[in-house]
Chains A and B, each alone.
Chain A
Amino acid sequence: MSVKKFMYINRKAPYGTIYALEALEVVLIGAAFDQDVSLAFIGDGVYQLTKGQNTEAIGQKNFSPTYSALGDYDVNKIYVEKESLEERGLTLDDLQHLVWEDEDDDWAEKDSIRLVSRAELTDVLDEQDVILSF
């Protein structure tokens, strides 16, 4: 099976619509296929990664803890667009600290989130083979 660069685009906020949750479900299943996986959080998509989500009062399942499991699924290239954070008055500190363990580096814990500028993200997107949008 050939290895392709898969990019999952996340541009929507969580809970207002189902796209964030169901996109994550694709990522988790897709992880089993050993492809070169990246996620991009752009625009309102950055809100999916914020800390402190409490969904009890709206009666929906809080699926935000699932993002911290991505590292265990070898999904560790998580691009967050800097301009999208800034436009929304957010910083990296407002987001969950997502990590993965690099088995090629004595299981050292590394950051999964790559804060990139729009220009850098443009280049990343341009390299992708399969781009999934939700």
Chain B
Amino acid sequence: MALLHTVNKSPFESNTFDTCLGLAKDGSTILLIEDGVYAATTGHSVAEKIKNASGISFAVLGPDLQARGLEDKLADGIKVVDYEGFVNLVTEHDSVQSWL
């Protein structure tokens, strides 16, 4: 079973991102959406956490990045998807866990 996890909170505002990271199994994917996209930017300790979580795939919802003016601050190795890509991620994984 591979889960798709979504995180919609800024990692600087709440512990949701950390909680998700702590409970996501290797082989799963974490999709950052809404305010969660801030975790996908560079220059902070969260970027290090993402780099170190080598067993997990990271993706970010492009529209939410664009809305927040973050496109040129995107960290390497994080796949940008649109809503169609979001839907595809859901179909490609066995189940979805929304971290709110």
Q: Is the CB of B15 within 8 A of A122?
A: no
Q: Check if A125 sits within 8 Å of B19, measured CB to CB.
A: no
Using A43-B19, A125-B23 as known contacts, say yes or no to A9 and B97 having CB atoms under 8 A apart. yes
The reply to whether the CB of B81 lies closer than 8 angstroms to some CB of chain A is no
Q: Which chain B residues numbered 55 to 100 have a C-beta less than 8 Å away from chain A?
A: 94-100
Report whether B23 and A133 are in contact in the complex, using a CB–CB cutoff of 8 Å: no
Q: Which residue of B lies closest to A19 (CB)?
A: B100
Q: What 0/1 readout, one digit per residue, does chain A (96-134) give for beta carbons within 8 Å of chain B? A: 000000000000000000000010011101111111011
> Smallest CB-CB separation from A5: which chain B residue?
B95
B41 at the interface (CB under 8 A from A): no
Binding site for B on A (CB under 8 A): 9, 11, 42-43, 83, 118, 121-123, 125-131, 133-134
> Which residues from B are CB-within-8-Å of A122?
22-25
Residue ID in chain B nearest A129 by CB atoms: B95
Q: Is the CB of B96 within 8 A of A131?
A: yes
Q: A126-B3, A126-B25 in contact; A11/B19 too (CB < 8 A)?
A: yes
Interface class of chain B by DSSP = mixed
Given the known inter-chain contacts A11-B19, A42-B19, A43-B15, please indicate yes or no for A123 contacting B100, CB distance below 8 A.
Answer: no
Cα separation A131 to B24 with both chains bound (whole Å): 14
Per-position contact with A for B1-29: 1 when CB-CB < 8 Å, else 0? 11100000000000110010011110010
Q: What 9 A-B pairs have minimum CB-CB distances, sorted nearest first? A: A131-B97, A133-B98, A126-B25, A122-B23, A126-B1, A122-B25, A133-B100, A118-B22, A43-B19
Nearest neighbor of B94 in chain A, beta-carbon distance: A129
A42, A127, A133: the one contacting B1 at CB < 8 Å is A127
By a CB distance below 8 angstroms, the chain B residues around A121 are: 23
| The residue from B15, B16, B22, B95 contacting A131, defined by CB atoms under 8 A apart | B95
Contacting residues, chain B, for A118 (C-beta < 8 A)? 22-23
Whether B15 contacts A130 by the Cβ 8 Å rule is no
- Docked Cα-Cα span, A122 to B28, in Å, equals 11
